[in-house]
């Protein structure tokens, strides 16, 4: 998508964002990116007049993709998608960077660091758009050419939306087939696929990896150590808790970036390994508690996967504690704050990712208690 034309729209939210984040700094950071053709700052993007301005801009500039740096996508993403569909911008080419609830309102004491993090969040959304597959599949699972019909995806599908059928393109071969009307978009089958043949619209492997690469790009050193933590948050459980933490102005350290997923079961082992290979100091996966998962058993699948991944990390020379799972429900903002803060404190004790340390040392240090 080399020629994709992206407009970045930043909302001051009548000072709710602008007072805590230097939007001029954010604008300056993203304005020079290759595909960004316009950066626009407004006081109230979601107002009728704000939406009219956006539509006019997209038409005048022949915009292909839009990143809105404002509030939670759970609040207004659908509204922006609806408004911009009238001027030809596809819904899957619109992303929201949640710089209000999950940056300005939880890092109000550190404007410089909050501004830097907000710029990272906007860049992550840009990267996600640029990695989008031009399709209309929404959040549904899709099957690619690598499928060999092993059936693992079918075994983990709780709504029985997957069947193994004869491959029309290869005589004598079998392939997975997804019933788009039945698929509820949890993504568990995609993360479980051993051949990488399955993917998911709007939350594809390539899109998430693109976000990881941006989030892990800026790293401190052992002499100037600032933890770089990735938090994978479920759209239905822990992500709303993060929004509520912002609404309640619960202060958090700015050493983490959140990547939203449809379900914790969508967190692919490849994402975790990629994060550590790129220099992330820790990966925290937040999911709803037992019996609270929007997809019934997604959190249980995640727990089993994390046990195996931690063993793999130990074999690769990492401390197992660098990967952690915690239960956080949608109505537990204080628990979101406590779990993220606890994890960052533990990573501070561990020190940098060994791949960032001189010589890429194998870890042997104990965590301070």
Give the domain CATH number at 170: 3.30.70.3270
Average pLDDT, the chain: 92
Side-chain-facing half-sphere of 69: CA atoms under 13 Å: 35
Last residue of a domain, one of 135, 151, 184: 135
Total count of domains within the chain: 3
Contact 288, 299 (CB under 8 A): yes
Give 263's contacts (C-beta < 8 A, 6+ positions apart).
186, 187, 188, 234, 235, 236, 287, 293, 294, 295, 298
Same domain (yes/no): 129, 153: no
Last residue of a domain, one of 108, 135, 162: 135
Last residue of a domain, one of 86, 117, 135: 135
Higher pLDDT, 260 or 139: 260
Q: What angle, rounded to 10 degrees, do the helices at 269-277 and 298-315 form?
A: 40
Nearest-angstrom CA–CA distance, 24 and 316: 42
Question: For residue 214, is it within any domain?
Answer: no
Q: Is the dihedral of CA 244, 248, 249, 255 positive or negative?
A: negative
pLDDT of residue 169: 87
Nearest-angstrom CA–CA distance, 137 and 141: 8
Q: How remote is the C-alpha of 65 from its chain's centroid? A: 18
Question: For residue 182, is it within any domain?
Answer: yes
Give 172's contacts (C-beta < 8 A, 6+ positions apart).
none
Same domain (yes/no): 341, 272: yes
3-state DSSP assignment of residue 225: coil
CATH of the domain at 313: 3.40.50
Question: For residue 107, is it within any domain?
Answer: yes
Nearest-angstrom CA–CA distance, 35 and 33: 6
Contact 227, 281 (CB under 8 A): yes
Same domain (yes/no): 63, 174: no
94 vs 120, 127, 284, 311, 368, CA distance in Å? 17, 12, 26, 38, 43
Q: Locate tokens 């000072």: which residue? A: 15
pLDDT of residue 367: 46
Residue 20 has pLDDT above 90, yes or no: yes
108 burial via Cβ count (<10 Å: 0-12, 13-18, 19+): middle
How many residues in the chain?
A: 369
Of all residues in the chain, the percent with pLDDT exceeding 90 is: 86
Question: For residue 319, is it within any domain?
Answer: yes
3-state DSSP assignment of residue 270: helix
Chain segment 185-207, per-residue pLDDT in tens? 999 999 999 999 999 989 999 99
Residue 115 has pLDDT above 80, yes or no: yes
- Here the tokens at position 326 are 């915690």
Chain segment 45-72, per-residue pLDDT in tens? 999 999 999 999 999 999 999 999 999 9
Domain range enclosing 231: 219-369
Give 44's contacts (C-beta < 8 A, 6+ positions apart).
11, 12, 13, 14, 50
Same domain (yes/no): 123, 181: no
Same domain (yes/no): 2, 124: yes
Question: For residue 155, is it within any domain?
Answer: yes
- Here the tokens at position 140 are 């549904």
Same domain (yes/no): 131, 148: no
Residue 230 has pLDDT above 70, yes or no: yes
Name the strands in the sheet holding 6-11, side by side, starting at the edge strand that comes first in the sequence: 36-42, 6-11, 65-70, 94-98
Would you list the DSSP string of 89-141?
--GGGEEEEETIIIIITT-TT-HHHHHHHHHHHHHHHHHHHHT------TT-E
Same domain (yes/no): 123, 148: no
Same domain (yes/no): 223, 366: yes
CATH of the domain at 18: 3.40.50.11230
Q: Which pLDDT band holds residue 368 (cuts at 50, 70, 90)?
A: very low
Q: What is the mean pLDDT of residues 259-278?
A: 96
Same domain (yes/no): 123, 162: no
Same domain (yes/no): 363, 226: yes
Residue 78 has pLDDT above 60, yes or no: yes
Nearest-angstrom CA–CA distance, 237 and 298: 11
Same domain (yes/no): 72, 188: no
Same domain (yes/no): 97, 181: no
Q: What is the mean pLDDT of residues 292-308?
A: 93
Q: What is the mean pLDDT of residues 229-248?
A: 97
- Beta pairing partners, 83: none
Q: Which pLDDT band holds residue 369 (cuts at 50, 70, 90)?
A: very low
179 vs 162, 182, 189, 296, 355, CA distance in Å? 6, 5, 13, 20, 42
Question: For residue 235, is it within any domain?
Answer: yes
Higher pLDDT, 226 or 1: 226
Higher pLDDT, 223 or 112: 112
Question: For residue 364, is it within any domain?
Answer: yes
Question: For residue 208, is it within any domain?
Answer: no
Q: What is the mean pLDDT of residues 2-12?
A: 94
90 burial via Cβ count (<10 Å: 0-12, 13-18, 19+): middle
- Mean pLDDT lowest for which of 124-133, 186-195, 217-226? 217-226
Q: Locate tokens 């019934």: which residue? A: 296
Q: How remote is the C-alpha of 72 from its chain's centroid? A: 13
Q: Which pLDDT band holds residue 225 (cuts at 50, 70, 90)?
A: confident
Give 366's contacts (C-beta < 8 A, 6+ positions apart).
none
Higher pLDDT, 133 or 129: 129
Per DSSP, 257 falls in state: E
End-to-end CA distance of the chain: 48
């Amino acid at each position: 998508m080399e020629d994709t034309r992206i407009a970045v729209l930043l909302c001051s939210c009548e000072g709710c964002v602008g007072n805590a984040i230097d939007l001029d700094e954010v604008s300056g950071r993203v304005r020079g990116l290759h595909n960004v053709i316009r950066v626009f700052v407004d006081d109230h993007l979601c107002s009728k007049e704000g939406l009219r301005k956006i539509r006019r801009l997209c038409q005048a500039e022949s915009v292909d993709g839009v990143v809105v740096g404002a509030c939670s996508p759970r609040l207004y993403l659908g509204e922006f998608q609806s408004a911009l569909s009238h001027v030809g911008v596809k819904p899957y080419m619109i992303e929201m960077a949640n710089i209000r609830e999950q940056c300005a309102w939880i890092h109000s004491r550190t404007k410089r660091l909050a501004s830097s993090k907000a710029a990272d969040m906007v860049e992550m959304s840009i990267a996600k758009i640029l990695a989008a597959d031009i399709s209309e599949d929404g959040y549904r699972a899709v099957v690619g050419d690598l499928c060999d019909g092993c059936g693992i995806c079918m075994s983990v599908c709780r709504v029985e939306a997957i069947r193994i059928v004869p491959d029309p393109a290869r005589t004598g071969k079998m392939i997975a087939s997804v019933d788009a009307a039945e698929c509820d978009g949890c993504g568990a089958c995609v993360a479980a696929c051993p051949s990488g043949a399955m993917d998911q619209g709007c939350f594809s492997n390539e899109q998430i990896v693109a976000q990881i690469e941006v989030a892990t790009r800026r790293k401190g050193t052992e002499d100037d150590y600032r933890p770089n933590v990735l938090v994978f948050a479920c759209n239905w459980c822990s992500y709303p808790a993060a929004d509520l933490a912002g609404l309640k102005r619960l202060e958090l350290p700015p050493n983490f970036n959140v990547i939203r997923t449809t379900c914790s079961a969508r967190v692919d082992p490849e994402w975790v390994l990629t994060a550590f290979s790129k220099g992330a100091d820790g990966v925290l996966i937040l999911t709803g508690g037992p019996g609270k998962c929007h997809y019934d058993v997604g959190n249980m699948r995640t727990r089993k996967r994390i046990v195996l991944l931690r063993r793999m990390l130990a074999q690769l020379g990492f401390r197992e504690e660098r990967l952690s799972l915690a239960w956080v429900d949608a109505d537990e903002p204080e628990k979101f704050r406590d779990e993220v803060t606890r994890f960052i404190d533990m990573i501070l004790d561990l020190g940098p990712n060994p791949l960032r340390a001189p010589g890429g040392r194998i870890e042997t240090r104990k965590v301070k208690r």
